[in-house]
Amino acid sequence: MLLKKIVLNNFRQYYGYQELEFSQLQNKNVTVVHGENGSGKTALLHSFGWCLYGDLNLPNPENICNEHALSNLQKDQSIESYVELHFEAFSKKYSLKRFIVVERTNDDRILYGEPQVSMQFIGHEGQSERIENYTEEINRILPKDLRTYFFFDGERIDNLTKSGNNEDIEKAIKSMMGLEILERSIRHTDQARKRFREELKELGDAKTQEVYSELEKLEQERDTYIEKRQIKQDNIKVLDKQIEEREIRLTQLEGAKKLQELRESKREELYQAESRLKEIEKELVNTMSKQGYLAFTSPIMEKADEILDSNGPEEQFVKGITKDFIDKLIQDGKCICGEEIKEDSIHLNHLQELAQATTSNQLINTVNYFKQNGRTVEERKENLFKNLDRLKKAQSSESTNIRLLNEKIQEISTQLSEHTTEDIAALEERRKELSNQKDKINQDIGSINGNIERLDEEIVELENEQKKMELKETKSNLAQKRMQTCRNLIDVMENILEIRETIVKEQLQDRISKVYSQFLRKNYSINLSEDYMLNVFNEKGNPVAMSQGERQITSLSFIGAIVDIARETFNKETQNAFDEGGIYPLVMDSPFGALDSDHRERVAKGIYKLADQVIVIVSTSQWEGEVEEQMKSLVGKEYKLEYNDPRYNKDKPYEYTNVKEVN
């Protein structure tokens, strides 16, 4: 989607007809709108949302119509208040108008009509065609639940990095990167599979019906457990938030600050130690599964050596001479001593006996090879024992380390609980209660997982039984085939989803890191966690408590990265059915609000690269200086919002905003 033009007519403080065209130039893709405080910047940002989705997230949202226009309205007259948006998407040109009609009645009452919408696109032959299902069409072009990412308020944008917002982030990523479509397909194909099963159940004999009823029961039971687990996981999120709030509070209290910081650093050490222990245990399992057999080779190898040493080929055969050599002597008829070898001579007989006593090189080689291997097996066994010994020591040392760290963390908690300052002790006590509740819920989740696992096994077992059942009826056979086709496709889609989720996360991680390093001065790194949380770490790898400006930059990097990748996917030459992507504009109100001068410069320098179209709505003071300096060569259109202050303009003693293009 690329925005072409917005028209505001008697909308909020925009009196009369006001129009802004947006730059669509490739090398000057920025449109800047600047104005003083109160000049209507935020109203402009929200006018996009109102026009597209009918939401107006502003104070007194019912006051759509401009006050001065209303006061000028004569009896029995009406006016239109509207926002009209012109844009291009999927190679079509659209115009969308949301409007209300306001009427002053004969008895001087003001009547507001219901908001109405008219949407058209320009057809291939230039004719205008009306779109009736405009809500669906708008959502197809720019999904409503993603609007905050494209029309964002810089002063609220830092919310993205706060805990509890990972679900929004996950939703945005999945929607824009084509993962949501796979999730839905899996869900709906499974529903189709169940309906085929119902058909099969109706067609089948008593045994078939029994198996399917049992399967249904098990699946329902599993779904109930999955729902319960979801509720418990949501509860954990709430508890995590409450614990975090208390811990933040503890870092703010002078008497608890150091202890809380120490606890955080010990927790980090604990996390590292637990990760190391996991790696050690993994290595132990791998080593044992791949080389464990070596530990049992000693008796076999000893026995083989014994046989070969006492009764081996060396004892039975002539060594050092091969049969081929003796055969050659007999064939030439001359011994190595020069004596002729005649038929029926004792020399010939002797040589023939010797030839029989020799053996082929192959047998000797095999025996030697076996003995050599025996030594290698012995060496590998010794190495295995050394390796296991090393791993066991490391495991023991890490376990001790973990125990000590847990004790230290426990000790910190006790110190805080027994703190002389009542607030601190109370905060810690509450934190402990919450933490205990979380442990309890985690235990419940563990038990639920156990039940789900058990049910999964029972379902698989029953499904295998069902596959073996011979179906005499053709119709039943067909229903079963269809059911199986759905099952196979679900497996395929689940595999694809897992792979694509990994790819998308990797791509995003890479892109966010790049954008982040351009925008942020400090050498922090950003990480998109498994559960879609944006975490920032310092050079030592410790989590960072970010300032508002840093949070703003982090969120901006995320949004920039996702818009950039969506664009890249959309523009890919060879797209497959899973590629979603799209062209999205970035419309930002006060993106530089909480940033210092250096960061303003950095963001201004790089922001234009993130989207095909960037619209920056900014206060005059934020615009002038480093931002203007960095962006002026990128600006294709520039507007100033001129606020008419009734206190100073006696000719026009009413409030309104006028849009003026700056050339």
* Residues at the interface with another protein (CB under 8 A): 135-136, 139-140, 143-144, 180-182, 184-185, 188-189, 191-192, 195-196, 478, 481-482, 485-486, 488-489, 492-493, 495-496, 499-500, 502-503, 506-507, 576-578
Looking at beta carbons only, is 228 or 482 nearer to another protein? Answer: 482
Rounded CA separation 411/634 (Å): 58
Coil, helix or strand at residue 41: helix
Which run of H or E residues covers position 528? Answer: strand 525-528
Q: Pick the closer one to another protein by CB: 98 or 637.
A: 98
Minimum distance from CB of 139 to another protein (Å)? 4
Helix (H) or strand (E) holding 313: helix 313-316
C-beta of 569: minimal distance to another protein in Å? 13
DSSP collapsed to 3 states, 608-655: HHHCCCEEEEEEHHHHCCHHHHHHHHHEEEEEEEEEECCCCCCCCCCC
The CA distance from 577 to 560, in Å, is 25
Pairwise CA distance, residues 465 & 212, whole Å: 10
Best CA proximity match to 43, nearest among 62, 30, 56? 56
Length of the chain equals 663
CA distances to 12, 13, 589, 645 from 650, in Å: 21, 18, 31, 9
- Tell me how far, at minimum, the Cβ of 495 lies from another protein, in Å: 6
- Token look-up 């210092």 returns 596
**What is the Cα–Cα distance from 5 to 255, expressed in whole angstroms?**
57
422-468 vs 254-291: helix axis angle to the nearest 10?
A: 30
- Shorter beta-carbon distance to another protein: residue 142 or 160: 142
In angstroms, rounded to a whole number, what is the distance separating the alpha carbons of residues 130 and 132? 6
Q: Is 230 exposed, middle or buried (0-12, 13-18, 19+ CB in 10 A)?
A: exposed
Nearer to another protein, 483 or 618 (CB): 483
- What minimum distance in Å lies between the beta carbon of 172 and another protein? 14
Least Cβ distance, residue 499 to another protein (angstroms): 5
Distance in Å, CB of 174 to another protein, minimum: 11
| 596-611 core/surface letters (b: 16 or more CB in 10 A; e: else) | eeebbbbbbbbbbebb
Q: What residue type is assigned to position 82 of the chain?
A: Y
Select 430 or 487, whichever has its Cβ closest to another protein. 487
Find the helix packing angle between 422-468 and 206-252, rounded to 10°.
160
Question: Which lies closer to another protein via its Cβ, residue 426 or residue 492?
Answer: 492
Of 276 and 500, the one with the shorter C-beta distance to another protein is 500
Minimum CB separation of residue 231 from another protein in Å reads: 22
Supply the minimum distance, in Å, between the C-beta of residue 466 and another protein.
17
Q: Which is nearer to another protein, 173 or 618 (CB)?
A: 173
Q: Which CB sits closer to another protein, 184 or 521?
A: 184
- Report whether 561 contacts 586 (CB < 8 A): no
Which of 133/442 has CB closer to another protein? 133
Nearer to another protein, 187 or 440 (CB): 187
What residues does 535 pair with on adjacent strands?
A: 527
CB of 496 to another protein, least distance (A): 6
Closest approach of another protein to the CB of residue 196, in Å: 7
- Structure-block tokens of residue 444: 């419940």
Distance CA 116, CA 118 (A): 7
Least Å distance between CB 509 and another protein?
10
